[in-house]
Amino acid sequence: MAAPRTPSEIARETLKQLAARRLSPTPENYRALYDEIADTPSAPPFPAAPLRAITRVLPAQTPAQRRLLDQLENAIAEQSWALLQSTLVGYANLGLQGAAVATPAVREEVADGRTLPPRLTEMLARLVENALTAAGEDDARLLGMGQELVDRLRGPDPETAATERLLADLSHRLSFAAQDQAAVRASLLALLRLVFENIALLSTDDAWVQGQVEALLSASTPPLNLRRLDELEHRLKDVVFKQGEAKARLDQAQAQMRALLTTFIERLAELDASSSNYQGQLEQCAERISRATQLYDITPVLEEAVNAARAMALASRVTHGELQDQREHAEARHAEIDQLRQELDRASAQARHDPLTGSLNRKGLDEALAREMARSSRQETPLCVALLDLDNFKALNDRLGHATGDEALVHLAEVARQVLRPQDQLARYGGEEFVILLPDTEVEDGVRVMQRLQRELTKRYFLKDDERVLITFSAGVAQVREESDGPDALRRADQAMYLAKRSGKNRVVPA
């Protein structure tokens, strides 16, 4: 049975088929061929981000409104179209129910089906505007239909029948726009990953490029969200800066190495030329000695030969000393180049991430916490921090070794990434301690998130040499009260974690 093809192989085959079939390289053609080759149709994306923006402006004053708002948030979290449809119908019915307590004239108009309640029309108008924003600006017809519906909803006495007809037409058109947007994003993402992979293939010996390509490939793996892209931007900026700084030093060291080698070769050439001159002088002395008939004639020749020998010996010693200095300098430069290469490797591998678990390190945590606190203050949404510490980690290291302890930390990080929401962020705080940022989360919900992670760890055993090793942790959860409360929230979460330890471990305690 043939091995399944990788996404990069499918992307390459798709590009080949586009050329072979002489099709225009449009996103629609690319997506159709990609799905045909992969034999797996692409699913349209769920507009979670625009819908979350809508939840922030929806009212939640009555029990019915709060119930529907919770239902809408559940539909977004589960990415359920059916639950979303049910919620919207509930909002529509809620508006009609509210009309029942209106004035007699309004009740009569609603009963006759001629107009809609003002509150419902405004909610529908906001919903349409947010949906059009998410759909983009490429479809002029869709924008026109949406604007017509918004104008009618906000106009005087919108008729129910006409509004319903416009809403149905817009919904039908919007479904096609959503599919097109999904196809465009999937095609662009596939082309982008193909570019990254080809860069990596062409630069197998370039550690700097390899480090950046790995980060880009990781960040371009669905599901995508603005937090991951923002984190990638900061990470790449840091990597590029460090690599540029080290690259400049490496280029300087290499230039110095070339200069040393040039000087070394010049000294060798000078030594060879001097030896040739001295050899010529000695040969002339030998010839004159062979022709001499008296000792008087030999004496000045011997003095000349001795002086030439002394000069040659002195020149050899000087040149030998210079060559020795050049060799020492060359060895020092070679060691510096090796050190710079190691620094570049470290800069590529870890900028704001822990190299063992792939989670944020302390620097990455500080930046992510600052961003989330600013966002929480700006949007007036809750933010929680959870600090967890593995139970009996020292005993695990002593019994199975430190390498196994590292594997246990990696296992915990992998399970956490699978269980947590996309907007939650995991950071290694030190040793066996981790911090989890929980945006849009109250303390009670944060406790439930950590308890769910505990349950998943009991289901997903960590295996070591076919031995099932149960990993548990104790955690504290604290809510960030204001924009400058980050360090204090971590301190309170740390105190709650120690209280969980003293209470018997494998517990979650709110601060």
pLDDT at 212: 63
In a domain, 437, yes or no: yes
Question: Do residues 426 and 504 share a domain?
Answer: yes
Question: Do residues 405 and 335 share a domain?
Answer: no
pLDDT score of 97 more than 60 = no
Question: Do residues 308 and 376 share a domain?
Answer: no
Question: Do residues 370 and 341 share a domain?
Answer: no
Active centre residues (catalytic): 432
In a domain, 18, yes or no: yes
Single-letter residue type at 340: L
* Calpha distance 157→128 (Å, rounded): 18
Single-letter residue type at 419: V
End-to-end CA distance of the chain: 56
Residue position matching structure tokens 């002086």: 307
| Span 466-484, pLDDT tens digits | 788 888 999 999 999 876 6
Question: What DSSP assignment string belongs to 338-396?
Answer: HHHHHHHHHHHH-SSB-TTT-SB-HHHHHHHHHHHHHHHHHHT--EEEEEEEETTHHHH
The count of domains in the chain is 4
Single-letter residue type at 336: E
Nearest to 473 by CA among 488, 489, 457, 449: 457
pLDDT score of 111 more than 50 = no
Range of the domain at 371: 362-510
The answer to whether 506 and 425 have CB atoms below 8 angstroms apart is: no
| Span 331-367, pLDDT tens digits | 676 677 677 666 665 655 456 788 888 889 888 898 8
Question: Do residues 370 and 501 share a domain?
Answer: yes
The answer to whether 163 and 149 have CB atoms below 8 angstroms apart is: yes
Higher-pLDDT residue of 20, 391 = 391
pLDDT at 240: 62
Q: Provide, rounded to the nearest whole percent, the portion of the chain with pLDDT above 90.
A: 16
The answer to whether 97 and 67 have CB atoms below 8 angstroms apart is: no
